[in-house]
Chains A and B, each alone.
Chain A
Amino acid sequence: MSDVFSVDLLIQVSYFVTAALFILGLKRMSSPVTARSGITWAGAGMLVATAVTFAFPGMSNYEWIIPAILVGGGFAWWSGKRVAITDMPQMIALYNGMGGGAAAAIAAVELYRGETTGYAASSLAVVGGIIGAVSFSGSAIAFGKLQGLIKRSVRFRGLQVLNLLLLVVAITHGVLIALHIHDAPSVVTWMFVLALVLGISMTLPIGGADMPVVISLYNALTGLAVGFEGFVLNNAAMIIAGTVVGSAGTLLTQLMARAMNRSLGNVLFSGFGDTGGAATGTVTGSLKPIEASDVGVMMAFAQKVIVVPGYGMAVAQAQHKIWELCQLLIDRGVTLKFAIHPVAGRMPGHMNVLLAEAGVPYDLISDLDEINAEFETADVALIIGANDVVNPVARTDKSSPIYGMPILNADKAKNVIVIKRGQGAGFSGIENALFYLDNTRMLYGDAQKVGAELIQAIKAVG
């Protein structure tokens, strides 16, 4: 015990501190008040862990390690700083995929070296390697789809069978390696190739609307892979951080899927996400247009206005104009609130981030459960680029694909104003019954331009 203050002890203690900082950081991130300090805590943990790892006993190859960190970190810093907030989801996918790839790389180094002792270590290396590789290639496809690099969803009969086959063969290779029955480098290579192909073919058929759930799933999978490789390397920080993310990510994935009224299996295996125009509308009535000046007057003299923003607002980059408009109304004494559907934007909570970017304080933003009872007392519900999330068909029409999805009760407001670019159907191709109601008026135009017109109209009221 004379060697208590050894480097090894320093490393172990540092990893312990890192794990604690990660958990505390994540805990702080789960409340809007403390969220900003949460990432700082977790970041401090990461710095500590990285720094002490340089002192790891028996380490060499620093001339490789340092450039790799600089190149990888530099690229991520550069890309992360300049990406638009609307494009956040695909960046998360990209960085997550990199983590999965790193976990797979650790497994590959260990397995090619063939020195993993015991069945437990080699099995965990194999499992972590397969999961990491799937997460790597799958996330890359998710990134490509959201970024618009991959436009079509590839889907053909027997694809699910092919995926199952890929999985089974990959696992068979894994078992051979793990039990040291046949662990030649070629077998290891095949296992990784199969896993990479599986990640691609699993993700290609999934439509853009479901991608957030898939990204969240891959996030959880990467966490698990990191945890498993932590067992292989006997690294407590990796085990704890990876496992915490694995379980937290699984729960988050379930919450997201539930918010979209889908089950996870449904997302992965049905490919509904971008069925365009499949639904037939049985909606009667007519679309009644209105001028911006009339809407301006209506809102200026309203008691209470509820704004329902959708992804259309973000696409038009109108959040700043809309917030300017809202501030005018607030100054006039109008009670104003934002109603956010759980799946508004590209992923749950994405719309909150976009509004926050425009400077909307989060205490004006309410989610579905908080706000739904209030629509009855609202004079105006202003729908901006939102469609399916306010479609009353979800409550009434059992044949509709969105039947059962919780919606915002915008139709209960005294007046409903819909700002919309044109007369097309929504993201899912479903006709929106809300647009045809007697108390609904359509305000056509680009959300940003319409926002400017409304500001003019309200200022004109004086």
Chain B
Amino acid sequence: MTGMVALYIFMLAAFTGYEVISRVPVILHTPLMSGSNFVHGIVLVGAMVALGNAHSPLEKSIGFIGVLLAAGNAVGGYVVTERMLEMFKSSGARQARASKGTH
């Protein structure tokens, strides 16, 4: 990937992010923030590569912390978002789960 291509990707991705969010209702602001929080958990991939190529003990220690934190970001972001979105149901869908508790 050349620098210019990377720059194009950067620009297009920025516009994509803006477009995807621009017409979102207030009701979904918190879940969406949580969802985008999950998406940047992709840093896990980079942290794995960094640790996978680490040599000195210092690099390995920092890499270890990086992977640990990144895994927390990805897993935590998913669990929290999923729990929040689980609750969004319309009147119709609610009838079906009348007996199911909200734990």
- Which A positions have Cβ atoms within 8 angstroms of B? 15, 18, 22-23, 25-27, 29-33, 35-36, 38-40, 42-43, 46, 49-50, 53-54, 56, 58-62, 64-65, 68-77, 79-81, 83, 85, 88-89, 91-92, 94-96, 98-99, 101-106, 108-110, 112-113, 120, 136, 215-216, 219, 222-223, 226-227, 229-231, 233-249, 251-252, 255-256, 259, 320, 340, 342, 347-350, 352-353, 356-359, 361-365, 367
Contact B35 A103 (CB under 8 A): no
Residues of B within 8 A of A342 (CB): 26
Give min CB distance, A103 to chain B, whole Å. Answer: 5
A236 to B28, CA, bound (A): 28
Interface size class for chain B?
35 or more
A237 to B68, CA, bound (A): 19
A-B contact count (CB 8 A): 392
A50 to B13, CA, bound (A): 21
Bitwise interface map of B from 14 to 47 toward A, beta carbon under 8 Å scored 1, else 0:
1111101111111111111111111111111111
Q: Across the two chains, which residue of chain B brings its CB closest to A354?
A: B87
Residues of A within 8 A of B81 (CB): 29, 39
* Given A71-B68, A233-B46, A238-B42, 19 other A-B residues pairs in contact with their CB atoms under 8 A: A29-B81, A40-B82, A46-B41, A50-B44, A54-B48, A59-B49, A59-B53, A64-B60, A74-B75, A75-B72, A108-B62, A219-B33, A237-B42, A238-B46, A243-B10, A246-B17, A249-B36, A251-B18, A340-B27
Contact B21 A30 (CB under 8 A): yes
Q: Across the two chains, which residue of chain B brings its CB closest to A38?
A: B35
Residues of A within 8 A of B1 (CB): 234, 236
A223 to B71, CA, bound (A): 15
Give min CB distance, B87 to chain A, whole Å. Answer: 4
Contact A27 B69 (CB under 8 A): no
- Counting from the closest, the 5 A-B pairs by CB-CB distance are A105-B66, A76-B76, A80-B79, A72-B71, A99-B73
Contact B88 A35 (CB under 8 A): yes
Q: Across the two chains, which residue of chain A brings its CB closest to B101?
A: A359
Contact A109 B91 (CB under 8 A): no
Contact B52 A65 (CB under 8 A): yes
A23 to B16, CA, bound (A): 8
Contact A367 B10 (CB under 8 A): no
Q: When A72-B75, A244-B39, A356-B89 are in contact, do A58 and B31 touch as well, CB less than 8 Å?
A: no
Give min CB distance, A365 to chain B, whole Å. Answer: 7
Give min CB distance, B85 to chain A, whole Å. Answer: 5
Select which of A38, A89, A234 is within 8 A of B85 by beta carbon.
A38
A112 to B63, CA, bound (A): 11
Q: Across the two chains, which residue of chain A brings its CB closest to B65?
A: A105
Q: Across the two chains, which residue of chain A brings its CB closest to B42?
A: A241
Contact A226 B36 (CB under 8 A): no
Give min CB distance, A133 to chain B, whole Å. Answer: 12
A60 to B60, CA, bound (A): 11
Contact A103 B43 (CB under 8 A): yes
Select which of B20, B43, B48 is within 8 A of A30 by beta carbon.
B20
6 contacts between A and B (CB under 8 A): A25-B35, A38-B85, A77-B75, A92-B30, A241-B39, A342-B26
Residues of B within 8 A of A27 (CB): 20
A22 to B55, CA, bound (A): 32
Q: Which residues of B, 76-103, contact A by the 8 Å Cβ criterion?
A: 76-94, 102
Contact B71 A69 (CB under 8 A): yes
Residues of B within 8 A of A340 (CB): 26-27
Contact A25 B39 (CB under 8 A): yes
Give min CB distance, A262 to chain B, whole Å. Answer: 15
A347 to B29, CA, bound (A): 8
Q: When A72-B70, A252-B32 are in contact, do A239 and B13 touch as well, CB less than 8 Å?
A: yes
Q: When A102-B66, A235-B49 are in contact, do A92 and B37 touch as well, CB less than 8 Å?
A: yes
Give min CB distance, B95 to chain A, whole Å. Answer: 9
